[in-house]
Structure 1
């Protein structure tokens, strides 16, 4: 099984924290969608013997597209790829795009999962982040979408400057009140060259504190566990049967094709990524060329990536898989480097796999980096 990721590089406005590739100018939207469709056709041979299990519209803001434009891209996939009987087809959407009419149209399409970028139910947080929607739109979009879609996820951001534990708890409780089956939650991160970084440097916004984010994460894990959510990946919480198939495939190392500017792909042995320039992307694809860079992954690269992703998930790092895919020397290295983390209560071995403990969960990326092989 494999997946297709479709990057829609358009947004109504720029969020202050975002460093993804997008444009707030949609004058080239028609040419862009034609190029994305063409790339899908040009790359169909990569999945000649592979069934597509997931189609994921990310961005940017895919919900700025008309439903007919979304349908045309889905039909292009169906026309040129072998798609499983019941694929997971996800659309990332902003609350301000989800009018009653739009939700009705999407419900009549092949899209069967919505990922709604709420981020916060508080007006001041949304203004700080420069979100295009307001708190009322956040709530009304979820309520309306829930009458048509059973598989809905929302995004929430924690660690926002000025957000108290009490306020964060209220955010979580408001999210839970809708009876959603999936929540993705991320710490606010200050990325280079973003508006957020500039405002913090100028003293216009208070600095982001790791200690606050860590406390918020603990609250998040505790509250969602009470409601039956499984923290199946560090930032993702789902009810049983509602884990994101698309994201799970990434973490388990399955193949995927990414189309559109800046989109990444993985075929099991190498990664590639398209140019993050809209005019250059359109020009190259129109000529039948692939505007991308390719990185061949060494055995060490693949081992390090497996350790990184494995420790973020409930599946952990399987010793049997490490031995099968990389060899006994890698198992010995893993166990040796993990020993000190186990003594500190940050890692544990069980069921022939390595896992982060509750104590180590918020530090999982740093712990993984300490287990990496730098030279072999």
Structure 2
């Protein structure tokens, strides 16, 4: 199973907390769509399997991220989806996700007929929406400099759920001034729409963002870790009580509604990233496109891929598996550690994890639901309920450094 991620590097305005690659100028949007389509075509042979048949790997997920992909016209999205189908072997019923903001999800007028944008999305094959709500409160949205308001957030979900079954929404917690009660109201509002998937992240302060500057100048209070931890605990409790499965640190889905695209990342499966700043992974190397729209366009026009590549050492791959594995419901398979990385890494992992096992932050469980080896009982290292919020810090202590 493989996937294609398509990065659309445009936004109508810059959110204060965002450090993703994007431009608020739409001047090169049409040129960019053509360049992205050309890159899709230029990289069509990357998924050939090295076997005697040299059969093409099937693409099971297409994901439009950004930026804000919903700034594109329906015709642009259709053009890019068609380009994937023309150049790759696409599995039947692939998951095709579009990230969208509420302010873009309005009624379309096509050939004199009025129809919802959701009907238009469905007509070109999009079958999953990821909607950037972030909060249902006006003061939060203004503080984050979101382009939509609370009324638009609710209206777009009311309409989207009439046309789409597979919808995810984003919520941000740990916002300065957000009480536990206010956070509970955000979750309750999200649940009221019957959404089957929720992605939720703590507000983080990244360097070179407007949020960082606002905090440094005292215009906004800094987020507090203890508040974020309380909000996280509330989130887990409320969503699990409503039949959501906490399958990744920041992701909750009802049964059969996990993100196939994101799950593939966490399980170490291959994917190609198309567009400026997009990353790719083939199992042994990681590559990334230049994070500059002008340089990206120039390179594609010259028939050159604007890519840098890093060959991953065994230590790199071990550390990456520790990081992604601990974040997921599938945990870290001790059998996989020994099989793929060797007894030296397994012994090191046992040694480093002991203090977290003693403090009830990690546990070793037996499981037959393994992402590594199906239909067999394996020992799995995973965070306890107490350790979940601390997962990233725990993982960093399990990394193997300076082995090679």
**TM-score band w.r.t. shorter chain:** over 0.9
What is the aligned partner in structure 2 of residue 6 from structure 1?
6
Q: Deviations over 1:156-210 (max 9, x none)?
A: 0000000000000000000000011000000000000100000000100011111
2:94 corresponds, among 82, 87, 91, to 87
In the aligned structure 2, how far is the partner of 1:188 from the partner of 1:72?
35
Task: Output the aligned Cα RMSD.
Answer: 0.6
Equivalent position to 1:205, from 220, 225, 229: 220
1:274-311 Cα distance to aligned partner (Å, 9 max, x none): 00110110010111101121111000000000000000
Moved more, 70-79 or 104-113: 104-113
Deviation at 1:104, TM superposition (A): 2.0
- 1:268 aligned onto 2:283: yes
Cα distance in 2, alignment partners of residues 334 and 51 from structure 1? 35
Spell out the pairing of 1:60-139 with structure 2 (5 A cutoff): 60-100=67-107, 101-139=116-154
Equivalent residue for 2:344? 329
Task: Say yes or no: does 1:375 pair with 2:402.
Answer: yes
Does 2:21 correspond to 1:21?
Answer: yes
Among candidates 344, 356, 360, match of residue 345 of structure 1: 360
Distance 1:119 1:341 in 2: 33
C-alpha distance in structure 2 between counterparts of 1:220 and 1:312, whole Å: 16
Alignment-derived partner of residue 252 in structure 1: 267
Unmatched tracts of structure 2, length 5 or more: 49-55, 108-115, 367-378
Give the match for residue 50 of structure 1. Answer: 57
- Partner of 2:381 in structure 1? 354
Specify which of 205, 221, 224 is matched with residue 239 of structure 2: 224
Does residue 239 of the first structure (1) align with residue 254 of the second (2)?
A: yes
Match of 2:17, SS state, is coil
How far 1:47 sits from its partner (Å)?
A: 1.3
Cα distance between partner residues in 2 of 1:162 and 1:350: 39
- TM-superposed CA distance for 1:332, in Å, is 1.1
Q: Could you state the TM-score of these two structures normalised by the residue count of structure 2?
A: 0.92
Range that drifts further, 154-163 or 44-53:
44-53
Gaps of 5+ in 1: none
Tell me the alpha carbon deviations over residues 218-243 of structure 1, each in whole angstroms, 9 at most, x when there is no partner. 00000000000000000000000000
**DSSP-derived class of the 1:272 partner:** strand
Query: Shift of the alpha carbon at 1:333?
Result: 1.0
Match of 2:317 among 284, 302, 318: 302
Residues 38-95 of structure 1, C-alpha deviations (whole Å, 9 max, x = no match): 0000000001321101000000000000111101100000000000001000000000
Q: Deviations over 1:257-285 (max 9, x none)?
A: 00000000000001011001101100101
Corresponding residue SS for 1:147:
helix
Partner of residue 164, structure 1: 179
* 1:290 equivalenced with 2:317 (yes/no): no
- Distance in 2 (alpha carbons) for counterparts of 1:191 and 1:3: 28
Separation of aligned partners in 2, 1:107 and 1:122: 29
Alignment of structure 1 residues 125-204 onto 2, 5 Å: 125-204=140-219
Q: How far is 1:107 from its partner?
A: 2.1
Rounded to whole Å, the distance in 1 between the matches of 2:168 and 2:234 is 19
Instruction: Count the aligned residue pairs.
Output: 376
Secondary structure at the aligned position of 1:157 is classed as strand
> Which stretch of structure 1 is more off in the superposition, 285-294 or 17-26?
285-294
Could you give the per-residue CA deviations for residues 86-122 of structure 1, whole angstroms, max 9, x where no partner exists? 1000000000100133222112220000000000000
Q: Provide the secondary structure at the position in 2 that maps to 1:21.
A: coil
